[in-house]
Structure 1
């Protein structure tokens, strides 16, 4: 059950698809989002969620992990293959989040139940402020050692082999390569990728960085991302 049902500040109009098999909860979430200025659709199972996501092209999908028909993991992966919408996944337990990130679901953010309706709206608002691939200004590729990052095409190559990254992994790597000599704190990375008003556990940065490192190392075991003890992370030499 969500808490904190109160009037929210006006938000820019956007379409949010709410997916949860708890019909009362889904209705309450949709109602609160509508009061905050969003247009909403609702689905109660995985099959219908995929149908609506592809037919209506929502800006954000609020997706519960436990669904009948197709679970949230399958739904997320199917939507991600054919859509660039933002996906906020809901889970019942905090410990599920690290596992979901490790599975590279393609979700952009995660929340655990029970949650505050106000925080949910804030998370949706933060996601909508993150740049999509088609909003990136023209910028030349960046080369650091064996790594090459294309900000416009959102591609990463290591020794000319393309590395498949999630949106968040790419965004973190893009921030690090933009300032390759700077040691960035977790908070700086959070502000750059999730937004300065993002509310959540900064430990997620470590989890995403860990999976990013493993994907890059699978192609070439080189120092791409360095840990700066007591500070955060810095781009490595890549050679």
Structure 2
């Protein structure tokens, strides 16, 4: 587990936040602190921390709302802080998506230990969910694509198209098979729609890595990656 990992602490009580910062930094983590929940989701989208410690009771936007919103676009591991013991059972039962819960007052050492334990578990899952081909890395947990370690913004259809091709390099996929792999519902789309998605995908890949032309069209059949 890398000790250069970044942790976001969203906590409105300065003393608690500082204690967490001190103990986490001793373990080698880089720590960012937000004092309210107003801009937490925006920060998470932009900075993509490796872990989030999130208080439930926050000014402007509460921790539960933040947790649910984050889970719509990311599986970043998350530990929630609550001031009520009886609330932990309720939270776990409702399944808000947090990986662990700690009740105040708490031992900072225990929080650090739990953070490390959750990171170990999730790191094992993430490793299994990474699909790589040459300079392309697809993260199936976060639905993200990196090329040469640069994040590429792909639509869900573009991501599934690329994943299908990367899973079987050099194999030529027909447009029909790419349609079936790229749309989760049973909608009917034309071959031109797939051509349009492939054109956009190739453009995005070329902007990031112009020296590599990995996607190829095969006349009269479909596409391949090589």
Aligned ranges 1:9-158 → 2 under 5 Å: 12-131=3-122, 133-136=125-128
TM-score for the superposition, normalised by structure 2: 0.54
Question: Measured at CA, do residues 137 and 65 of structure 1 come closer, stay the same or move farther in structure 2, by a change above 3 Å?
Answer: closer
2-structure distance, mates of 1:24, 1:137: 38
State the number of aligned residues.
132
- Could you list the runs of 5+ residues in structure 2 that have no partner in the other structure? 131-138, 142-226
Task: Give a deviation string over 1:176-202, Cα, whole Å, max 9, x none.
Answer: xxxxxxxxxxxxxxxxxxxxxxxxxxx
2-structure distance, mates of 1:83, 1:31: 27
Instruction: For residue 11 of structure 1, report the CA deviation from its aligned partner.
Output: 7.1
1-structure distance, mates of 2:129, 2:52: 26
Higher helix share: 2
Instruction: For residue 47 of structure 1, report the CA deviation from its aligned partner.
Output: 1.6
Instruction: For residue 106 of structure 1, report the CA deviation from its aligned partner.
Output: 0.4
Task: Give a deviation string over 1:139-198, Cα, whole Å, max 9, x none.
Answer: xxxxxxxxxxxxx978xxxxxxxxxxxxxxxxxxxxxxxxxxxxxxxxxxxxxxxxxxxx
Task: Give a deviation string over 1:69-111, Cα, whole Å, max 9, x none.
Answer: 1111001111111122100001111110111112211000000
Question: Measured at CA, do residues 135 and 39 of structure 1 come closer, stay the same or move farther in structure 2, by a change above 3 Å?
Answer: same
Question: Measured at CA, do residues 137 and 99 of structure 1 come closer, stay the same or move farther in structure 2, by a change above 3 Å?
Answer: closer
2-structure distance, mates of 1:128, 1:47: 26
Task: Give a deviation string over 1:212-236, Cα, whole Å, max 9, x none.
Answer: xxxxxxxxxxxxxxxxxxxxxxxxx
1-structure distance, mates of 2:116, 2:122: 12
Instruction: Give RMSD over aligned pairs.
Output: 2.3
- Could you list the runs of 5+ residues in structure 1 that have no partner in the other structure? 1-9, 139-151, 155-239
Question: Measured at CA, do residues 29 and 136 of structure 1 come closer, stay the same or move farther in structure 2, by a change above 3 Å?
Answer: same
